[in-house]
Structures are given as C-alpha cells and as structure tokens.
Amino acid sequence: MARELQIREALREAMNEEMRTDDRIILIGEEVAEYNGAYKVSQGMLDEFGEKRIIDTPIAELGFAGIAVGAAMNGLRPIVEFMTFNFSLVAIDQVINSAAKMNSMSGGQFTCDMVFRGPTGSAGQLGAQHSQNFENWYANTPGLKVAVLSNAYNAKGLLKSAIRDKDPVIFMESEQMYGFKHEVPEEEYLIPLGQANIQKSGQDVTIVSFGKMMRVCEQAVKALEEKGINAELIDLQTVRPIDYETVANSIRKTNRCVVVEEAWPLASISSEISYMMSQMVFDHLDAPIKRVTTRDVPLPYAITLVDAFLPNVDRVVQAVDSVMYV
C-alpha cells in the first residue's frame, strides 16, 4: 500500500529502517542531532538512536568527513550529511583521495562503506558559492557511486541501496524539493544503483534527465503533447554508474534525444551521455543530440538572471523542436 510522503520524510524513513537493522550505521554532520537537521530530514532520530549514533559536529567538513572515513575503515557504516554539497569542497580531499581510493590502494584490506548526502544545485537566490552542481565532479572519480533523487519514491529506494552498498556513495538531494510529496510504498523496496527509470513512454523523442530537472522535463513533456509530440522521459537516477543501455534502447525507438541537466555544459553528464550515444546508436539518430544545461557562468544573484541561468520548459521544448524538425 502506498501513502504520500515528503522527500524529507522518505529519506528519514530510509535511514531509520536501515539503522534499526544495523547498529553499525551512524549519522554525522552539522545540526543533524539537536536541531533535527538543517532541513529536518533527521527529525526525531536523536531521540530514537541516541547521541552515539546521531552526531552533531562543528562547522568543519574536512574534519568530520575524515572522522567518518576512518570510522568506515574500522567497520562502521557512516552517513555523512553536508548542509550543501557546495560545502563538500572543504572535505573533497577526504572524499576523493581517501574514501574513493581506500579499497583499491589497500588491496581490498579496507573498505569505506559509507554515504555522503545533502543538497545540490540552485535553491533560489543563494549566490554563486551556494548554487553549484557537482554530480559530474564526483561521477568522474573511480571508486565512488553517485545517485541523484528526483522524487520521494526513489529518494527512499536509492538511499537504502546506497547505505547497503560496499562502495562510498555520493547521494544528492535538493533544498527546494524536501517538502515535495509523492507516493511511497509501505512495504520494503530497493532501487538498484545504476538502473535508470523510464518515467513516461513515448515514440517521438527521448528526453534524459535526473534530479530536480525531472520536474522541468515533466512540464516540458506536457507542453510537447499539446504540440502533438510524444516524448519518452528517462530518469537516470544514478550518474555513476550510468544506465547507458536504457537510454540507447530508447533512442533506437525514437531516433532523437535531448539531455537536460542542471550543471555547466563543459565535461558534464550530458556531455558523457551524448558521446556514449554517438558510439552506441549513431546509425539510429535522425538528428544530432541536443543538450539543455545551465548557462556557462557563475550563478548571478538577481532573480531574473537566476531564471535565465537555469534550464526551463521553454528551452527544453525548443531543443526538442530542433531535433524534430531537421
């Protein structure tokens, strides 16, 4: 039976369920305990699990990320919450040079079974230093897995899989989406890392996206239907590993593709998808693949410029028109 949960509630339920069955799991980060989480994701968890498992930290990302890596090497399964992934740059040495490489460099003697989670991307007028997307940065690193939620259903299913995974997982959320509600089953379920979801079937064009941009794409699909264009919409769900085959199979059917991403265009996930599809299904493409990304500048503060910076429905529809009518 399904019920509607906010994304924050789905994330909390995933952590609670896993922590009840595995006492090695801890949650560590700024304001996760006494304040119930900066976005109230961890509300009530301190009361249930206590201060040895729900651990408030100083404002010191490098320090508590390093503590968590050491804890993972010694058998615990930490969940590290960054208040925003912009702040993960302070801790990136521990993520990239320790967590991601420990299994390989130790010849399998040490693993880092852990999750780094928190919001990514723009959340309105927060300025250039608090509005960046790092999915492609972390996806570039062997040893890491990277998941990006788009709704409450995959928030819970992906996070449970991430917590159980043997590799360190980067788990990316959105400040603007924590209050959004979607149907979530009461019964146990997992969503495998590396498995895309065909959110809507169609035969005219393939639209590929992930994370918060799925909402933009959903609106664009409805606008395209009014123009008589039946789009297939794919949610990647994880960007390392990427489910290339699901995208390729869709393009074999539609013969056209648009990739939508909230990130700068150079060396992006959309760049990777475009390249791989040119290798896998080149003969099936009736038009060049188009990308819709953020503008290639630091995010401005003015709201009019924020709107111009981000992908939107009109830009997605225009990109689809450009591949439909060539």
CA of 133: how far to CAs of 13, 87, 99, 127, 313, in Å?
26, 12, 20, 13, 19
H or E element that contains 79? strand 77-81
Which alpha helices (DSSP H) does 149-295 contain, by range? 152-164, 213-226, 244-254, 269-280
Q: Which two tokens stand for residue 140?
A: 């570039």
61 an active-site residue?
A: yes
Beta-carbon contacts of residue 305 (< 8 Å; ≥ 6 apart): none
Which is catalytic among the residues 13, 30, 81, 130?
Answer: 130
- In whole angstroms, how large is the CA radius of gyration of the chain? 20
Which is catalytic among the residues 9, 13, 30, 61?
Answer: 61
What's the chain's length in residues? 326
Integer Cα distance of 205 and 193 in angstroms: 25
Q: Provide the sign of the torsion angle of the four alpha carbons 102, 75, 71, 157, taken in this order.
A: positive
* Residue whose entry in the numeric block shows the structure tokens 């996760």: 32
Q: Which two tokens stand for residue 63?
A: 């320090």
Q: Under a CB-based contact definition with an 8 Å cutoff, are residues 14 and 41 in contact?
A: no
Integer Cα distance of 323 and 326 in angstroms: 6
CA dihedral 153, 154, 156, 161 (to 10 degrees): 150
284 an active-site residue?
A: no
Q: Which residues are annotated as catalytic?
A: 61, 130
